[in-house]
Every structure is written in structure tokens, then in C-alpha cells.
Structure 1
Amino acid sequence: MSTSLPDTEAIERAGLKAWPGIEEKWDGSWVRRAAGGYTKRANSVQCLDPDDFEDADLRVISACTWMIIRQVKPVFRITPLAPYELSATLDESGWQTIGASHVYAMALDDREADPQAEFLSLGDPRFLAAQQKLRDYDAATLQGLQNLTAAIKTPATGIVLTRDGEAVASAIMAIADGIVVAGNVITDSTRRRQGLGKAMMNSGFAWARREGAHAAAVNVEAGNTAALALYSGLGYAHQYDYHYRIPGAPK
């Protein structure tokens, strides 16, 4: 069995399915996504073909209008698949660069699920309560999470790891095209360095293997040193980088 990892386009397309927008519109290989503002990734525009750059300036305007109509701030997600002409157009218009991030991936092998890991539907009140507690979500943000997870159509699970009856780690795992994509990964900030994140993630990998996944991918902010250490320790390897572009401040 080959252990080669999926390429950039395969990871990106899996990510679009595993973490979708509530509303999506394709313009050639440019995809617009809106999800009520919950996460930049699900509320952004990106391109999956570096050769699809014709009329980039007009398409940027059209995409921005589409997002504004949906009450979402215009955001472009720039991966290695973005055409140079798109970045140049944004540069000329004074767009800022924010949110430097990495994509990590690995081939899946056999992992042990923690006995205290629960695999719940994404709408399960116990999963939502764990996410709200660990991420300190207010009611509006929790509703945003619920709205987005309702749009996930691929095999997915919410994971909650408990200790002494308390939720101490949680994540979403969704499988698309054989790749399990992790999102909303969180550990109790008062119980770091206890192996809880690793136990929770390995539990998710065990679930994903049972569901037929052969690879795993995750997005992580460049400055999140704790997450980078966790993912490296689990066996993930850096694949590529991306960032976001937002309109510059008015002069």
C-alpha cells in the first residue's frame, strides 16, 4: 500500500468538503463561501487552479459583492494554488495580509482510541456543550458553529474526551476523499501537557481508520506553538502554507 500523501489540490478539495460554507458559488476554479462569519476559512474566496487568472480584477470585485450581500466581510484565502495575478490584483488594491497558517498532513496508521473518548453527532448537545465550555463561546458563536456543522455532508463526528466526568478535549473530524480533516481542536487550558490532546486526536484517527480514511490533514495558525508541537508529535508533517487577504483600511 502506498504511503504517499495527497497533493495540495487533493487536500484543499477535501478541506472544502469537510469544512464547507453554508452557501457556495463557483466561478471557474474560484470558489466563494459564506457561513455567517463563523471562521475565515468557511467565509472566504479561494482559487484551486494557478492558471485560472483571466479577468482577476473583475472577479475580485464580483466575489466581494457576493460576500457583502451575504453580510460577510470580503476575505481571500491564498494557497499555493492561487494565481499570481490574484495576489497582484489584491496588492494593487492595498489589501492586507493576515492569518499566516500551515497545512500539515500524514498517512494514517493504526491508533488506539481512549476509553473515555466519546464519538457524537455534530448536533449532539454534549458535543456542543464541550465545545462551548472549552472554547468559551457565547450563544451567538455557538449558533454559528451549529449552522456550519449542519452543512457538513461528509462522514463526520464530534469527539469529546472526558476525565472525571468533565470534558477536557474536543474536536471535529470529517472525512472527504479518504482524508480526515480535523477542526475546532481544543484542550482545557488548565490541563495542558497531560497528553489529553494527543489522546483525543488518536481517538479520532482510530474512528477515521474504521471509516476508511487513509490520510489526515489539519490547518494550524503559524503562531500556535502548542498546536504545532501536538501535530508534529502525532506524526503530521508540514505540507504548505497559506494566508488570508482582507481589504486595507480606508485612507
Structure 2
Amino acid sequence: MSDHDLVLGLECRLMNAWPAFDYQAYEGWILRFADGYSKRANSATPLMPGARLDDALVDYMVLRFLDANVRPTFRLTGLQDPSVDDLLRSRGFLEVEPTCVLTAPVRGDCEPDPEVTIEPQVSKRWVREAAQSYGGDKADDATLIQIVSRIRQKAAFATLSLDERPVAWGLGVVERGFVGLYDIVVAPDLRGIGLGRRVVSSLMAWGCGEGAHTAYLQVREENEIALSLYRAFGFSQAYRYTHRVMPGGA
């Protein structure tokens, strides 16, 4: 499998696992909108090797973002033509949030942690508690439940409880041999004691049981704690992406 094939395959799975509310396609680019919740669902992403941009197309796509009240954001995965980054930089688009896409082989035990509950459908409780633990701009449980309710692949909504108290959450989505791990979050007062590791382990075990041979996830480059956790599970970088955002927002 070539590098472009891997990137394209994972990007397609990512879009299926984290659905937006609206999609628009322009010359090898896909625009996604989800009321501003998460950059991956509110950005323009290349879906064709060598996808290009010119000033006119950038102008047109920017207007579509502004119509949707979303900050114009280009998510650059390496599939695009090298000239794209130069064009966006010359127009003042700022580079933010470099992110690693990691993969790891799924092997061994296919039994989740007995204290981790795996549900095939999202519940209001899962969304509410996960969103509260995230906090900040990801505390919007109303938008989160709209996104995850649109997942059409087989999904696992994981909750780790200690003494009947939910303390950590995660989402797994299986598609064509890959299990994607999303929204791994631990209650703020209990971070750093290995609870996230148990959720990751359980979702990988669930993926194993569903026939997945590879796990994948995304993590910001600056998040050394998470990177260390994932490396311990055998994850390594498949590719990285950055964002170019319009200064000042929408």
C-alpha cells in the first residue's frame, strides 16, 4: 500500500466515523460542516492525490465557510499538491494544531476490561458525561450527540466505571479491518492513573472481536502525555496533518 493509499483509506474511514452535517465537493476537496464542533468535521480536506487550489477556488470555499458560520479551515494531510500550503500561507492563513495520525496492529486478547461497558448505541448519559469531562469548546453535548448519532458503521461507546461512578469514556468505530479510536477522555480529577489506558485497551479488544487488524487514532503533536500512552500500545505515526485557518475567524 502506498503512502497516498494509506492516507486516503484512513481519511475516508475518519469521515465515516465522525460524520459532519453537510458536505460539499470541489475539485478533489471535500468541505465538511458540523456547526463548528471539532476541526475535523469543519474543514476542507483533500480527497485526491495532487489536489490543487487557486485564488478563485479559495475565495469560493471561504464564502461557503462563512455562509455556514464556520472559520475557514483547510486541513492539509499531504494528499494535496505542495503548492497548496504556499498559497494559503501567502494569503495569511495561519498554521495551527499539527496532528499525528497513528496506527497500531490489533493483536492478542479480544476481551474488553470487565469494568468497561461497551454499548452499540449512543446514550444521552454517555454524551453528557464525556462532553462534561472534555470541557471547553467540546462541552457541547447537543452537537456531539448529533454527530455520533449519524455514524453508520459499527460503533462501540465505552464507559469505565469505578465503584459505580463513570470515570472514563471512549468511542470505537470499525470499518473494513480498521478500528478507529475517538474521544478518549477521563474525568479531570482522575487523570494520570491509567484509566484512559483501560478504555483504549478495551476498544482495541472490541475491535479485535469485530475482525479489525489495525487500530488508528489522531492526537495533537503537543499532547506528549497521550502520545506516550499510545506508543506503549504499539502505535506509530502513519502521517501527520496541519490546519491552515483564516485569521480572525468567521
Q: Is TM more than 0.5 here?
A: yes
2:227 maps to 1:228: yes
Measured after TM superposition, the shift of residue 137 of structure 1 is 6.3
Aligned to 2:92: 94
Measured after TM superposition, the shift of residue 63 of structure 1 is 1.6
Amino acid at match of 1:44: S
Aligned to 1:150: 149
CA distance in 2, matches of 1:135, 1:175: 23
CA distance in 1, matches of 2:136, 2:51: 39
Measured after TM superposition, the shift of residue 91 of structure 1 is 1.6
Give me the CA root mean square deviation: 2.2
The within-5 A match list for 1:203-242 is 203-242=202-241
Amino acid at match of 1:105: T
Aligned to 1:46: 45
Q: Is the 8 A contact 1:15 1:176 kept in 2?
A: no
Measured after TM superposition, the shift of residue 248 of structure 1 is 2.8
Amino acid at match of 1:100: P
Corresponding residue SS for 2:225: helix
Q: 1:65 aligns with which of 63, 87, 106?
A: 63
2:230 maps to 1:200: no
Amino acid at match of 1:123: V
Amino acid at match of 1:75: T
CA distance in 2, matches of 1:138, 1:48: 27
Corresponding residue SS for 1:132: helix
Q: Is the 8 A contact 2:95 2:244 kept in 1?
A: yes
Cα 1:247–1:191 shift into 2, 3 Å: same
Amino acid at match of 2:160: L
Q: Is the 8 A contact 1:50 1:84 kept in 2?
A: no
Corresponding residue SS for 2:140: helix
Q: Is the 8 A contact 2:128 2:141 kept in 1?
A: no
Q: Is the 8 A contact 1:122 1:128 kept in 2?
A: no
Measured after TM superposition, the shift of residue 29 of structure 1 is 2.1
CA distance in 2, matches of 1:227, 1:206: 19
| 1:42-66 deviation per Cα after TM superposition (whole angstroms, max 9, x unaligned) | 100011333232x532222222212
CA distance in 2, matches of 1:70, 1:28: 20
Equivalent pairs: percent with the same residue? 26
Aligned to 1:182: 181
Q: Is the 8 A contact 1:56 1:85 kept in 2?
A: no
CA distance in 2, matches of 1:237, 1:62: 37
Unaligned stretches of 5+ in structure 2?
none
Q: Is the 8 A contact 1:51 1:83 kept in 2?
A: yes
Measured after TM superposition, the shift of residue 151 of structure 1 is 2.0
Unaligned stretches of 5+ in structure 1?
1-5
Aligned to 1:105: 103
Measured after TM superposition, the shift of residue 82 of structure 1 is 1.9
CA distance in 2, matches of 1:139, 1:96: 22
Cα 1:116–1:140 shift into 2, 3 Å: closer
| 1:175-198 deviation per Cα after TM superposition (whole angstroms, max 9, x unaligned) | 233211111111223223322111
| 1:84-109 deviation per Cα after TM superposition (whole angstroms, max 9, x unaligned) | 22212212211110111111101211
Q: Is the 8 A contact 1:130 1:160 kept in 2?
A: no
Aligned to 1:75: 73
Q: Is the 8 A contact 1:36 1:144 kept in 2?
A: yes
CA distance in 1, matches of 2:207, 2:248: 43
Measured after TM superposition, the shift of residue 140 of structure 1 is 7.0
Q: Is the 8 A contact 2:126 2:159 kept in 1?
A: yes
Cα 1:122–1:142 shift into 2, 3 Å: farther
Measured after TM superposition, the shift of residue 239 of structure 1 is 1.7
CA distance in 1, matches of 2:129, 2:99: 25
Amino acid at match of 1:18: A
Aligned to 1:3: none
